[in-house]
Amino acid sequence: MSQVGLQTPVNINMPDNVIAFFQGLGFTEPAALSGAIETAFCDVDPASMPAQSLLDHARRRTADWFAVVLNRSERDDDAVLTIGRAAYLLTDAARRWPEHFLSEDPLPQAMEQALRRVSPVPVPRAKPTPMLDQPLDPVWAGEPLKRIFGWWSPEAAERRPA
């Protein structure tokens, strides 16, 4: 467990992987880091949760927020987190708008536009298509190979003039 309380207004007593998760979103200033962690865990009691559950909760809560903010419909939390984290870092949102992280209130228009502008455009899902039956033997090589290798075959040797 890390203690970052000496530099922050609020004592952060969280596992290193949880702190690293929020730092990976750009929250490097102690006050902003503390605020992000407090906001992420405002609906649960972190003291009663095991370390891995804390990280899972932070990831799930952040992915859900990114999905709403970026208007994404990916079902996979990892995909939404990757896209959201990239957008959050590219816009320097943790420094510019730290108080709006995980906010349920409408975001400032500049923040919302900046995040959406840098996030990748969703593409349609790939649809499986039937593959047409194809012969496994290449057609173009059949005859030349028969001629080349046929010259040395026993049948061809019997037909060769002596």
**Among 97-101, 131-135, 153-157, the range of highest mean pLDDT:** 97-101
25 or 161, greater pLDDT: 25
Mean pLDDT of the chain: 84
What is the pLDDT at residue 29? 93
In 11-138, alpha helices (H): 16-23, 30-40, 51-69, 77-90, 93-96, 109-118
Per-residue tokens: 158: 């019997």
What is the pLDDT at residue 9? 42
* pLDDT category of residue 133 using cuts at 50, 70 and 90: confident
pLDDT tens readout for residues 37-56:
999 999 999 989 998 999 99
Are 4 and 30 in contact, with CB atoms under 8 Å apart? yes
Segment 82-95 mean pLDDT: 96
Distance from C-alpha of 14 to C-alpha of 45, rounded to nearest angstrom: 12
* pLDDT category of residue 8 using cuts at 50, 70 and 90: very low
Segment 84-98 mean pLDDT: 96
Distance from C-alpha of 128 to C-alpha of 43, rounded to nearest angstrom: 42
What is the pLDDT at residue 12? 67
* pLDDT category of residue 157 using cuts at 50, 70 and 90: low
pLDDT tens readout for residues 112-128:
999 999 998 877 778 88
Closest CA to 107 of 63, 62, 60, 70: 70
What's the pTM value of the predicted model, to 2 decimals? Answer: 0.69
pLDDT reading at 5 higher than 70 = no
- 85 CB-near residues (< 8 Å, 6+ apart): 24, 25, 66
